[in-house]
Amino acid sequence: MSSSLIKSPKAHDEKFCVNKTASRDSLRVCREFLRKDPIANVLPLGDLYSPLLQVSDVYSATQDSKIVGVCTICRAFSTPSIVFGAAPLNIKNALFQKAFIELPNEFISLCSPEDIDLFRKHTIIPHSHLEQQMAIDSSIRLQHSSIKVEKIGVNDLPLLNEFYAKQGARAWTPIQFKVGPYYCVRDNDRIASAAGVHIVTPQIAQLGNIITEEAYRNRGFATACTKALTTDLTRKKRIVSLFVRKDNLPAIHVYEKIGFRKVRDTTFLTMRKINKRSQQMVKCESV
């Protein structure tokens, strides 16, 4: 375990001990901290559970021997991501300073809009867009769909891989199938629509990869898959959450009809570390 003391830029009399965390006891304490607000902390919380934990680095900030912040770097996809648990900006900044050296030249983040300033000093942001997080309470009972929906089994994984490859799904990797359930609507031996998860923890699950092939759209297939998946996940009293682009009004309307409600705004960022060439480009653009 490595550690460093980093002074908060907003409170110079405070010091945070920032550690790269790996021990079982430390990870347990980090989970306990994040479980206090599972909706806001769904992304780093999911990285602290298997199988994502095996491809993630965990950083914790402590003050007076108490956890005050957590961030994770997940390497499940070709472009790694860094996400933060809910904490004041000065604590997130201390975490980022420690984690930054472990990040590759290109990485992504889904963060609160106010977190963008954390990244601007050290990165170029070639792409960003607004998203919103929506959630549904486990007490809601969903109406059964008349559309036939099937739970995808291990033997169907090659078919699911083929489906997501054809649809250009950027957030899909077979490790997601190990995280939790996937449901689909079939047309004979072909998947027409599918929905699954990015994260499943005892408190909350995060839906993802909800896609319908273009030829099968506007038939209610994605809604049926999402309902079946949500019903499965809420059986153990989990909150179910998802992220959707704010400009994707048709999808937002579908989720609202199911029972999802907006809980917060988020921002998706694609970033590159600033090097000398990048700094020259930024100076030229500002002239």
Write out pLDDT tens, residues 156-176: 999 999 999 999 998 999 999
CA 24 from chain center: how many Å?
Answer: 23
Least confident of 132-136, 203-207, 232-236, 275-279: 275-279
The string of pLDDT tens digits covering residues 105-157 is 999 999 999 999 999 989 999 999 999 999 998 888 888 889 999 999 999 99
Query: CA 57, CA 193: separation in Å to the nearest integer?
Result: 33
Average pLDDT, the chain: 91
Classify residue 128 by burial, with Cβ atoms within 10 Å: 0-12, 13-18, 19+. Answer: middle
Contact 32, 50 (CB under 8 A): no
Helices (H), 54-189: 89-99, 116-120, 157-167, 175-179
Q: How confident is the model at residue 3 (pLDDT cuts 50, 70, 90)?
A: very low
Q: Is 141 helix (H, G, I), strand (E, B) or coil?
A: coil
Q: Is 258 helix (H, G, I), strand (E, B) or coil?
A: helix
Residues 6+ apart with CB under 8 A from 218: none
Q: At what angle do helices 249-258 and 221-234 cross, to 10 degrees?
A: 50
**What was the pLDDT predicted at 14?**
63
Residues 6+ apart with CB under 8 A from 152: 160, 177, 181, 182, 183, 184, 194, 196
> pTM for this one?
0.88
Query: CA 71, CA 96: separation in Å to the nearest integer?
Result: 8
Helices (H), 83-220: 89-99, 116-120, 157-167, 175-179
Mean pLDDT value across residues 255-271: 97
Contact 206, 197 (CB under 8 A): yes
Contact 132, 264 (CB under 8 A): yes
* Angle at the Cα of 170 from the Cα atoms of 253 and 271, rounded to 5 degrees: 100
Contact 230, 142 (CB under 8 A): yes
Q: Which of 221, 177, 178, 3 is nearest to 169 (CA)?
A: 177
Could you give the percent of the chain with pLDDT greater than 90?
A: 85
Q: Which residue has the higher pLDDT, 153 or 7?
A: 153
The string of pLDDT tens digits covering residues 77-116 is 999 999 999 999 999 999 999 999 999 999 999 999 999 9
Q: Which residues does residue 196 pair with via DSSP β-bridges, in sequence order?
A: 208
């007076």: which residue's tokens? 64
Q: Which of 160, 159, 147, 246 is nearest to 195 (CA)?
A: 160
Which domains are seen in the chain, by residue range?
3-122 (3.40.630.30), 135-266 (3.40.630.30)
Query: CA 195, CA 210: separation in Å to the nearest integer?
Result: 4
Q: Which of 55, 43, 66 is nearest to 201 (CA)?
A: 43
Residues 6+ apart with CB under 8 A from 78: none
